[in-house]
Amino acid sequence: MASSITSITKPAAFSWQYNWSGTSRFHVIAKGRDVFFPSTTKTSHIFDHDDNEEPPVVEVYDSTESEADVDQMVNPPYMLLQWYAATDAKYYIAQEQETVGANTQWTTRKPTIFANGEGYYQFATPVLDDEEEHTWRIIALDDLGHESIVEFTMTMVRNPDPPRISLAYNAGTGNLTVSARST
């Protein structure tokens, strides 16, 4: 149940080393996806991260544990759009609906998903904001530019990001103050 992590250390700026134990092989999950493919026998890994104060969220489960207990697998932080091939479609476009001021607009996130004859197509969105409603659409286009559209809307509910906080101890009051961190 993703409890195999034994320590988290910081070997250098913006670098975070996770160490874990258990029964290999290990699945290492970050942002809802496997870090290693296939699973790994490694018992540590250094993650580059854009936050120098808080390491990335990583979960590890080993060969005796169940994926069903891994929070990021149960509540993935992204949408996976899946559709079956449209007749005569040559390619597809993935767009996200964004709100700009009082208006909404469609922003292309994946301009060309070529028809590959495999039948099923998928597009995994980036990590999406928690507790927000997200609307995406897939546009199928043929050689003549004719298009058909299918739209997906869902409320993203996932494990929130770690809070961006800093701690400061005041020996005079004995209080540890938890404050918002700007960087």
Partner 1 sequence: MATAFTKIDALGLYLSGATVAGGGQPLPASALGGYRSSKEVQRLGFVVRGGFGIKPIRIDWISGSNGTGRSALNASGTTSLIWDPYDATAGTAVSVANGETKLIESNTVAKSIRVTRMSSDTPKGNLAIDVVDVFNDLLGFSNISSDDATAGKANYRAAFIRNHSGATITDIKVWIKTLGTQRVSGTAQLGSSGSGTITTATASGFADWPTSGWCHIKNAGTTREIVYYTSRTSTSLTVPAAGRGRLGTSAAAGANTDTIDAVPGIRVGLEAPSSDAIQTIANETTAPTGITWNAQTTSATGVSIASLAASADYGLWIHRDTPAGMVAGAQIRNSLNIEFVYSATTYSTVWSGLYRCANNALRLYELYSGTDTSPDLTATAATTSATLPFNHALTPPGSGNRTYHIVVRYRNAYGLTSLNRYERKTKIDSTGALVVKNPSAPTNMSLQGEIGGGGVYARAHYTAIDDDPVANTWAIYLANGSNPTGSETPILVPMTIENGGLFRRNVRPLSYLIGTFISGADVRALIRTRHSASGAESTNTTPATITTTTGPVGLPRVPMFGPGFGQIQRGASLGVGGTKIISAPYNVYLSWDSGYLDLWVGTDHIFRIRYDSSGAANNGIWTTYAFAKDVISGTPTSEPIDVVSATELYITSNGVRRMKIDRSAGTISFTSMDKALTRRSSNSSQPVFDATFQTLFQVYDPYAGDYATALDLDSDGTLRMNVPWRRAGTVGDFN
Residues making contact with partner 1 (CB under 8 A)? 5, 7-17, 46, 48, 52, 54-55, 57, 59, 71-72, 74-75, 80, 82, 84-85, 117-120, 122, 130-131, 154-155, 157-163, 165, 167, 169, 171, 173-180
- 5-12 vs 33-34, strand pairing mode: unpaired
Nearest CA to 56 among 80, 41, 79, 35? 35
Closer residue to partner 1 (CB): 24 or 159: 159
CB of 18 to partner 1, least distance (A): 10
Shortest CB 68 distance to partner 1, Å: 9
Q: b/e for 13-50, b at 16 or more Cβ within 10 A?
A: eeebebebebeeebbbbbebeebeeebbeeeebebebe
Q: For residue 28, which of 67, 55, 54 has the smallest C-alpha distance?
A: 67
Give the residue with the Cβ less far from partner 1, 67 or 98. 67
Q: How far apart are CA 88 and CA 147, in angstroms?
A: 10
- Specify the residue, 102 or 171, whose C-beta has the smaller distance to partner 1: 171
Q: Which amino acid is at 99?
A: T
Nearer to partner 1, 16 or 92 (CB): 16
Question: Taking the complex as a whole, how short is the minimal distance between the CB of residue 163 and partner 1, in angstroms?
Answer: 4
In the complex with partner 1, the residue whose CB is nearer, 25 or 105, is: 25
